[in-house]
Chains A and B, each alone.
Chain A
Amino acid sequence: MLNFLRFIGLLLLLPGLVALGYSVYQGPAAWAVDSSTFWGTPISLFVFWIGLAHAGTLLSAIFLALDIKMDKRTAMMAELSTLCSLAIAVIFPLMHLGVLDRFYMVLPLADARANFSNIRSPLVWDFCCIGVYGILSLLFFGTHLGAKTFSGLKKIRKPLAWLLFPLVLWVHTVVSLDFAASFVPEWAGAFFPVYFIVGAVYSGIALVCCILWFEGYRMRLLEKLLMISSWILCAIWLWNFAAQRTFCTSAFIFAGLLPQLYWVESIRETRIGRICIYLSVLLGLWLERLFLVSPNLGTTAGASFGWVDLGLIAFSAGAFILAFTSIRGGLGSAMEGESTFFGEVDSTDMATSADGSEEDEALDPADEKNYVEPWASHETRTLRFPLFVGFSVATFFCIWCAAQLNFDNIELSLANVIPLVYPIAALVAAFIVCGKAYVNEVRPNFGSVQLRHRKVMHVVAVLLLIMFGSLLGAFYAGGKSAPSNQEVAAQPYNFENTEGDLIGDADSSAQEISAPRAALIWNSRCATCHGTDGKFNEKFIREYYPVPQKLDSARIDSIGVDSLVNVILNGRANMNAYGNRLSGSEARGLVRYMQQLAKEAK
């Protein structure tokens, strides 16, 4: 079965990679977008996969947090599916960017040029939340995996689950805000976060069910949840139809109506029937996300679906299948627990066994019997300090954001930073929890790991740190822009001094340039000899040039403006001709300035 899946995955991935490469090379023009639909297939794929990514950990973490027993294999499958689909989901918003190598500008960190991302934008929240979610999911999965070797890690799984639980809801709310905060009529609506979360849970459960199906067993509890979320979603759709008159028929059929066939026993109890229902849910939800992102796709006004779009879909599916099966195959039995399945093996139609317990329970048997105050529970005690630190860091970050000098163009209020508070707090808290567990539980028991492995781990850790550091440094420095390489020669003169123009309308003061302009010209053109204050540049004229005439009010007045203009433009004796560099009005302005200087000199 694993090999068959790998083959399918490869079959989908290879043409998908071609499409991905082409669309990265070609840019956003490659897929179905037009002048009014700016987002296309990548974003609908992103929303779809991020939905899938949420359900896995959500199930695992919520079940763990709420003390619902779930066997290790199902939980691990769900968590792994989360990681894989998250990795795929992240590719799409990145590749959808117009200028790929500027993605780091979205990070809310000030760079060397004091640039700061626009923290009001839901996209920034999105970017951060998903990053944090990815890291936390990885930690959650890692502790689950490591719990086999280091039993002490089991203790922190529940606290981590408590951190993840709100984060999942938080992240999906933020993703939905991308849409809800915008002005596309189809996207607006306050129900959006609820709708997105339900959709995500729905598709995620379907995916986990699918995976369990391929593993050869099922879990009735999940199927029931699947049905419940299908009703909720149908209700939202119908309400949306009543309120906004928008309706995606195909999504309703595939994800709303077809799954109801589950109630037919002959379909429910056959393998083929079940997988058809799961796949129909996935298909329906994907169609729904596509409809959401580009509402007028396929209509006359909208763009049409091309091979690149299909290729991208194939890529996402293929990459997911391949990544999942490889990791699943690679980890092998590490993912399976010692206990029996909580679900049921297909061939033997077992009843749901409540005693298929997780190994976690052995943690603190006393808890089972005695009621423990919530504030005294193990989770609270573990999380108290990390969360305090986390929220302190988040608060500090908010204050720092608000103090950024570069908010010249950005109006920032507290509401703009709030979406980042919990993810940051959760990230810091999770790091503290895991770091503590590492020091207390893993380090003392390191002897059980081979020396070679330990060295490899250290080298990898150092390399990762160096990579992280250099990326951060590169982002901090930012890119550089090419110089314009424009040739700059002498000042261009765009006027013609005709003979009549020079002397002609001397009385029209409208033609005269402003006094500061004349001063500027005087300082650059005339001050070389005549001095900025009109009292000669002694350093120059004494040594090199004959002494020019003194600026004298009486003399200037007696010569008259017109003949002075003429001297400036055409030259006289040692005075240069500036006719090719100054216009008549500029010359007239200079004469006026000379008069002023002469007056001041007195």
Chain B
Amino acid sequence: MALVGLLQGCKKGQLGDGAGTGSGERLSAFMKRCEDEVRLAVSEAHGRMDLVKVPMPKEMKGSLAGFSAGSAREASVNRFGMAIDLDLCNGCGKCILACNTENNVALVTDEEAARGRFMHWIDMRGGAPFMCAHCGDAPCEKVCPTGAANHTPDGISAMMYKRCTGSRFCGANCPAKARKFNFNDAQELGLVRKLNYDVPLREKGVMEKCSLCLHRLQNDRMRFKTEAAIAGSNAEWRGRGVKTACAEACPRNAIVFGNWLDPESPLVKAAQGRQLYAPRELAEHDPAVVFMMGKR
């Protein structure tokens, strides 16, 4: 075991500091590779989504029980999610690129790209972006043996990469196959750059997926709590003003991020009077990322 630890210790070489801030030329070459890969993924996109109508997401079912039971915690007032407007989306793929650079998503080798095995957290399915739906009753989290996949009180299905053993049970149990497995050591192969210091690079052998830009929410929550404590106010953090990278990047504002439980959230406002849809296989798991179409 000590030997294994030793080997592991040696193996965990960090990407040099220059990685993110490397010479401009090399960085732009890398960015070009990212763009090419996204273009390829968008052009090769296959698969349809079988959408069914769902009601507007509310408080999480089930998983919340654990939170309210604890003495230190009370039921959360947040449930973050997104709605993707299928009337506006034209499948340009800018969200994928934005997501990849925001979350340091690794490129894949050429042969894997040829097999359509990308690491992108957002897939194009049926001409629209599809990512983890952050189900309130997430089947993936139930089977994770170590608890690496778990829910925050704010409704995000988060991944703790350092706790992930890579048993891939979650991937097998995700009805929509939204999870991606790190088959390659992307750092060793030079397939990843630390473009954003806020998001850790994922090592080989762990699962990853859309985190709903967890780091942005965390940063905003910390900032909010600091200022609330200074001001002595008891205001609850509602995540106002935060946007995910994909929502920010969408040229047609087809992706709306927000808080389903906050009536002032742009998400709730956008979804008002619209018909919401979710992929059939996810509909019963209370997804927080939904699609909207028609009926304004």
Instruction: Give the B-binding residues of A (Cβ under 8 A).
Output: 27-29, 34-36, 38-39, 93, 96-103, 105-106, 115-118, 120-124, 127, 178, 181-184, 407-412, 470-471, 474, 479, 481-482, 484-487, 514-517, 519-520
Contacts and interface: CB of A to CB of B under 8 A. Distances in A.
Contacts of B182: 98
A127 B145 CA distance: 9
Contact of A182 (B116, B143, B205): B143
A407 B172 CA distance: 24
A474 B8 CA distance: 14
Contacts of A93: 167
Interface centre among A34, A106, A118, by most chain B C-beta atoms within 10 angstroms, is A118
Interface stretch (B96-104, B157-165, B249-257): B157-165
Interface centre among A97, A102, A470, by most chain B C-beta atoms within 10 angstroms, is A102
Interface in B220-234: 226-228, 230-231
Interface in B177-204: 177, 180-184, 197, 203-204
Contacts of B116: 35
A487 B18 CA distance: 11
23 contacts: A28-B183, A35-B177, A38-B168, A93-B167, A98-B168, A102-B165, A105-B145, A105-B163, A105-B165, A106-B167, A115-B146, A115-B147, A117-B145, A123-B169, A127-B145, A182-B169, A183-B173, A408-B73, A410-B66, A410-B150, A411-B63, A474-B5, A482-B14
3 A-B pairs with the lowest CB-CB distances in the bound complex, closest first: A98-B166, A98-B205, A409-B150
B168 A101 contact: no
A412 B150 CA distance: 13
A302 to B, nearest CB: 11
A120 B137 CA distance: 13
Contact of A39 (B142, B172, B183): B172
Contact of B168 (A39, A122, A514): A39
B166 to A, nearest CB: 2
A285 B226 CA distance: 61
A514 to B, nearest CB: 6
Interface of B: 1-2, 4-5, 8-9, 12, 14, 17, 62-63, 65-67, 70, 73, 115-117, 139, 141-147, 150-152, 162-169, 171-175, 177, 180-184, 197, 203-207, 226-228, 230-231, 281
Given A408-B67, A487-B17, A517-B227, 7 more contacts: A35-B116, A98-B206, A117-B145, A122-B143, A124-B145, A409-B150, A474-B1
B143 A181 contact: yes
B172 A182 contact: yes
Contacts of A517: 227
Contacts of B230: 516, 519-520
B162 A96 contact: no
Nearest to A471: B1
A181 B173 CA distance: 9
B214 to A, nearest CB: 14
Contacts of A411: 62-63, 65-66
A99 B168 contact: no
A100 B206 CA distance: 11
Contacts of A117: 145-147
Contacts of B162: 481
A409 B177 contact: no
B206 A118 contact: no
Contacts of A178: 169
A485 to B, nearest CB: 6
A38 B171 contact: yes
Nearest to B207: A98
B66 A103 contact: no
A99 B164 contact: yes
Contacts of A27: 183, 204-205
